[in-house]
Amino acid sequence: MELDDETEAELQDLVDRLDRLVPKEGAHLTLPADAEGRTTAGNRAGYLRLGIELVRAALSPVPASDEAPAQVVPQVEGLLTEGSRAPFELCELDESIGSRPPAQSRLGVFGQMGAGVAVVLILILAFIGAAVLWRWLFG
């Protein structure tokens, strides 16, 4: 999304004002350290600071390089409590994401289950075939 200079400056002024209004001191956010953790806990200031940092990062994206795609890099390290993990390993910036269809399997639920059963059956048949071949060669 391309913004004109006036809009960009106005957004930056709003973020700076929000930054002054929401104190950094006392803002806390706990994000699960394991992949299965689903609960994020934080105080109101913590969630507000997270939003401010995301908007600030989106206003100053890091351009693409040979090693990495364009990205936004929110500065949330001082916000996270002990034992939390950084919530974003990579915030890739992709302006065409809205025009792409959602990723989905064309198999559907029953097709995926059938494919899983087929893989298991093939593995069982391969094991039986290997056992028969072993017995025929060395038996």
pLDDT of residue 64: 85
pLDDT of residue 49: 92
Other CB atoms within a 10 A radius of the CB of residue 128 amount to: 10
pLDDT digit string, tens, across residues 28-81: 988 776 666 677 889 999 999 999 999 998 898 888 888 888 888 888 888 888
pLDDT digit string, tens, across residues 105-130: 667 778 888 888 999 999 999 999 99
Residue 91's Cα: distance from chain center in Å? 7
Tokens 């994401």, located at residue:
97
The CA-to-CA distance between both ends of the chain, in Å, stands at 70
Euclidean distance between CA atoms 49 and 20, whole angstroms:
11
Give the CA angle between residues 54, 19, 84 to the nearest 5°.
50
Euclidean distance between CA atoms 49 and 45, whole angstroms:
6
Q: Are 8 and 55 in contact (CB under 8 A)?
A: no
The pTM assigned to this predicted structure is 0.62
